[in-house]
C-alpha cells in the first residue's frame, strides 16, 4: 500500500513539474511576444527596432531597416527646414532632387557595433530586438561631414586666389563636395536634434553666393572648326541653360573647339549596321582667358555612326549629350582625358 502511495506521489510531482515547466515556457514566449507586437518607443538616447527572419542575422538586418525607414520618413518631413534647403534657396527642381537623394540615403543608414538586445525563435522564424545608440550613430555621420568640410575649405583657399575661369573649374568640384554634405546634414539633425549646423550654414551660403557671382562674371565666346559646329551649338545651348552670357566682342573666356575624325566601316551580316559609317572622333576643347593664356584643355574621345555618311556621323551630338547629362556642362568643357 505504501509503495502504491509513493508511486502516486511521484507521478503527481512529475505531472506538476511538467505543467509548471510548460507554464514557465509559455510565460517566456508571452514576454517575448510583447516586444514583438509592441516594440519599445524611441527615446532621446536610443532607437529601437524589431525584425524577423529565417536567421538571427536576417532578423537583425530587418530591425535596422525598420529604424532606417523611420529616420527616412522624418528626414522627408523636415527637409524644407534643413541647412541644405536654406543653402540651395528657392530652386524647387534642385530642392526636389536633393531631397529625393537624401531620403534615399537615409534608408541606407550605416550602422556599427549594434548588438541584439533580445531575441527568440517561435519555431517558424527568429524575432530580434535591437537598440541603437543615437549619439554613436550621429558621431559616425559627423565624422564623415568633417572630412568633406575639410576638403571644401582646402578647395576654397585655392578658389579665392584664382582667375575667373579657374574659379569656374574649381566651382564644379566645390559644388560636388557641398552636394555631398547635403546627404549628411538632414540625417544628422534627425538623429541628433541639438546638433549645431549653424556653424556651417553661413559659410556654405557664402560659398554658394560667391560661386554664383563668379559664374555671373563670365562672358563666353565660342569658336569651332567645321567638324565641331554642331557640338559648339550644343555647348552654347547647355551653357545658356546655366545662365552664362555670350559676346563675340566683350568676353573674358574664349572657347575653341576642334574635332579630328577617322572614318571606319564595320562588316556586319545585319544590313542596318553594314550601311553605317562610323566616325572615331577626338575633340579638343580649349579655354583662353582675356590675356590669351590657355587655362583649360579638355580632350573627349567618342564614336558616332550614321547611315547617311561620314560627315553626318561627325556632326551627331548624341554621345556628347550623354556625357553632359551625366557629368554636367562645366565638367564637360574643363575635364580632360575623357573617353566615351
**How many other C-beta atoms can be found within 10 angstroms of the C-beta atom of residue 314?**
23
Boundary residue ending a domain (182, 198, 217) = 217
250 and 162 in a common domain = no
Q: Which residues of 272-299 are buried (b: 16+ CB within 10 A; e: fewer)?
A: eeeebbbbebebbbbbbbeeeeebbebe
Per-residue pLDDT of the chain (340 residues; tens, 9 = 90+): 445 444 444 444 444 444 444 444 444 554 556 888 888 899 999 999 999 999 999 999 999 999 999 988 888 887 777 777 777 766 677 777 777 877 888 788 888 888 889 998 888 999 999 999 999 999 999 999 999 999 999 999 999 988 888 888 888 889 889 988 888 888 898 999 999 888 888 898 899 889 888 888 899 999 999 999 999 999 999 999 988 999 999 999 999 999 999 999 887 777 777 788 999 999 999 999 888 889 889 999 999 999 999 999 999 999 999 999 988 898 899 875 444 4
Is residue 8 in some structural domain?
no
With respect to residue 38, please indicate whether it lies within any of the assigned structural domains.
Answer: yes
Instruction: Indicate if 176 and 309 belong to the same structural domain.
Output: no
Q: Is residue 300 part of a domain?
A: yes
Strand blocks (E) in 24-83: 46-53
H/E element, 57: helix 56-78
292 and 190 in a common domain: no
- Clarify whether residues 196 and 252 are in a common domain: no
Q: Does residue 12 form part of some domain?
A: no
pLDDT at 212: 86
- 106 falls within a domain: yes
| 209 and 312 housed in the same domain | no
- Residues 105 and 243 reside in one and the same domain: no
pLDDT at 32: 54
Residues 115 and 109 sit within 8 Å (Cβ to Cβ): no
**Domain for residue 51, yes or no?**
yes
Whether 186 and 226 map to the same domain: the answer is no
DSSP conformation class of 316: -
pLDDT of the residue at 18: 47
Angle at 65 between CA 60 and CA 71, to 5 degrees: 135
The residue segments making up the domain with residue 58 are 32-217
Nearest alpha carbon to residue 32 among 116, 98, 114: 116
Task: Examine the domain organization and report whether 207 and 233 are in the same domain.
Answer: no
Q: How many CA atoms lie within 13 A of 123 on its CB side?
A: 1
Q: Residues 231-253: pLDDT tens digits?
A: 999 999 999 998 899 999 999 99
| CATH number of residue 69's parent domain | 3.10.28.20
The answer to whether 222 and 246 are in contact (CB under 8 A) is yes
Same domain, 135 and 53: yes
The CATH number linked to 288 is 3.30.160.150
Residue 312 forms part of a structural domain: yes
Contact 303, 316 (CB under 8 A): no
Distances (CA, A) of 249 to 217, 219, 244, 254: 15, 10, 16, 11
Residue 124 cell numbers, joined:
517558424
CA dist 295 to 197, 285, 309, Å? 37, 11, 35
Residue 317 in grid coordinates: 551630338
Domain contains 36: yes
Q: What is the pLDDT of residue 112?
A: 85
Half-sphere exposure of 181 (CA within 13 A, CB side): 28
Domain boundary among 217, 248, 272: 217
Q: Are residues 202 and 229 in the same domain?
A: no
The residues that bridge with 286 in the sheet, in sequence order, are 256, 297
User: How many structural domains is the chain composed of?
Assistant: 2
What is the C-alpha separation between 284 and 10, in angstroms, rounded?
98
Q: Does residue 207 sit in the same domain as residue 114?
A: yes
Whether 76 and 161 share a structural domain: yes
Domain boundary pick from 217, 252, 276: 217
pLDDT tens for residues 121-154?
A: 888 999 999 999 999 999 999 999 999 999 999 9
Amino acid at each position: 500500500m505504501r509503495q502504491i502511495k509513493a508511486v502516486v506521489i511521484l507521478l503527481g510531482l512529475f505531472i506538476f513539474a511538467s505543467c509548471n515547466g510548460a507554464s514557465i515556457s509559455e510565460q517566456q514566449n508571452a514576454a517575448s511576444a510583447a516586444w514583438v507586437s509592441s516594440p519599445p518607443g524611441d527615446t532621446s538616447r536610443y532607437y529601437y527596432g524589431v525584425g524577423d527572419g529565417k536567421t538571427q542575422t536576417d532578423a537583425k538586418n530587418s530591425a535596422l531597416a525598420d529604424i532606417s525607414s523611420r529616420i527616412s520618413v522624418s528626414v522627408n518631413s523636415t527637409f524644407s527646414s534643413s541647412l541644405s534647403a536654406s543653402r540651395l534657396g528657392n530652386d524647387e527642381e534642385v530642392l526636389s532632387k536633393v531631397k529625393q537623394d537624401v531620403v534615399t540615403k537615409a534608408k541606407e543608414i550605416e550602422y556599427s557595433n549594434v548588438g541584439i538586445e533580445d531575441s527568440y525563435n517561435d519555431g517558424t522564424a527568429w524575432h530580434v530586438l535591437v537598440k541603437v545608440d543615437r549619439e554613436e550613430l550621429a558621431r559616425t555621420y559627423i565624422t564623415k561631414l568633417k572630412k568633406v568640410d575639410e576638403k571644401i575649405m582646402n578647395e576654397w583657399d585655392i578658389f579665392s586666389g584664382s582667375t575667373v575661369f579657374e574659379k569656374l573649374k574649381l566651382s564644379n568640384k566645390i559644388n560636388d563636395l557641398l552636394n555631398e554634405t547635403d546627404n549628411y546634414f538632414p540625417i544628422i539633425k534627425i538623429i541628433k536634434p541639438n546638433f549645431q549646423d549653424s556653424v556651417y550654414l553661413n559659410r556654405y551660403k557664402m560659398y554658394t553666393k560667391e560661386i554664383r557671382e563668379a559664374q555671373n562674371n563670365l562672358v563666353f565666346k565660342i569658336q569651332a572648326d567645321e567638324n565641331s559646329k554642331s557640338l559648339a551649338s550644343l555647348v552654347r545651348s547647355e551653357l545658356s541653360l546655366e545662365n552664362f552670357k555670350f559676346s563675340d566682342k566683350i568676353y573674358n573666356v574664349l572657347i575653341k573647339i576642334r574635332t579630328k575624325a577617322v572614318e571606319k566601316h564595320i562588316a556586319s551580316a545585319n544590313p542596318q549596321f553594314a550601311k553605317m559609317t562610323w566616325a572615331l572622333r577626338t575633340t579638343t576643347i580649349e579655354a583662353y582667358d582675356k590675356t590669351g593664356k590657355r587655362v583649360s584643355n579638355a580632350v573627349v574621345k567618342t564614336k558616332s555612326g550614321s547611315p547617311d555618311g561620314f560627315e553626318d556621323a561627325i556632326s551627331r551630338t548624341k554621345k556628347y549629350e550623354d556625357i553632359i547629362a551625366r557629368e554636367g556642362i562645366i565638367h564637360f568643357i574643363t575635364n580632360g582625358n575623357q573617353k566615351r
